[in-house]
Amino acid sequence: MSEGRNVSHLVNFGHLQIFSQATIYTCLLFLRRQAQTALAFHKVEDLELWRENGQAAQMQVPIELLTPAEWNFVPGASQPIFEKINGQPHKLEEVADIFVGLQTSADDVFILNYLGETKSTIRLQSQSLATEWTFEKDLLHPLVSGRMFRLMGRCRTGNSSSFPTKSKATKPN
């Protein structure tokens, strides 16, 4: 793509979720046979407005910036912030351990909705079974998922995860 200069448009949905049943970071890539001099980059910031009228932050990107290396384009008011962060001598991955987190491929089974709690138990609802369950608090882990975040905003909480763990068998006294 970078050698042929065939990219004409790129529509990036960023963190917005297009599909309700899966967390997928979507972008649309449009190619042409003829070599291009620039590409039209569109960053969708409001899914409903984009669906209604195609509204998105836009910028023209010189085709020379499309190299085999990673591409990062930020239109609009966020561009100066991005450039400042990107210009730092150290990247986050160099100074922090970045953990992807639990990947179950069965979120509706392992992610449970909060209903209430007592001092030692917590009441949750299974999304897959639509059934209420009561657990000892020590068996569960608080959960933050990608759908709970908004860019530069507070995250929603209230879910727990019940995932299998290895335990060491102990003998009774």
Q: For residue 124, give Cα distances in angstroms to 14, 70, 103, 119, 151.
A: 31, 42, 20, 15, 28
- Helices and strands, counts by H and E, the chain: 4, 9
For residue 129, the SS3 value is coil
**Tens digits of per-residue pLDDT, 91-146?**
888 888 777 766 767 777 777 888 888 999 988 887 788 888 888 888 777 776 66
* Predicted confidence (pLDDT) at residue 154 exceeds the cutoff of 60: no
Supply the pTM of this predicted model: 0.54
CA-to-CA distance for 16 and 57, rounded, in angstroms?
Answer: 14
pLDDT of residue 98: 73
Counting beta carbons within 10 angstroms of the beta carbon of residue 1, is it exposed (0 to 12), middle (13 to 18) or buried (19 or more)? exposed
Domain ranges (residues) in the chain: 7-87, 107-161
pLDDT of residue 130: 81
